[in-house]
Amino acid sequence: MQGIEIGKAEGEHNKAVIIAKEMFSLDFKIPVIAKITGLQETFVRSIVNKYLIMQAPLAQILNIHILPKKSIYCHNHI
């Protein structure tokens, strides 16, 4: 019986995480998300940070500035 209760609790937690991600994508503020889902605000912040990292392009995550290649032509005049 105890295992079933643990499984239900984990399922509810996973649902809350999914709801928190969806709410953030709809521009809800973190304190509001925490209050509605029952998750701790610090945990919601960590979820949001992971979500943002997964959405960002790799160059942005690594803080790499990719510049277009410029062709350099050398003109010799006699």
Do residues 39 and 33 make contact, with C-beta atoms less than 8 angstroms apart? yes
- Averaged confidence pLDDT in the chain: 78
pLDDT value of position 60: 61
Best CA proximity match to 45, nearest among 33, 61, 58, 27: 33
Whether the predicted pLDDT of 73 surpasses 60: no
The 10s digit of each residue's pLDDT in 1-56 is: 677 777 777 888 889 999 999 999 899 999 999 999 999 999 999 988 888 777 76
Confidence band (pLDDT; 50, 70, 90) for 76? low
Residues 6+ apart with CB under 8 A from 59: 65, 66
pLDDT value of position 55: 72
Q: Where are the alpha helices (DSSP H) in the chain?
A: 2-25, 30-37, 41-55, 58-61
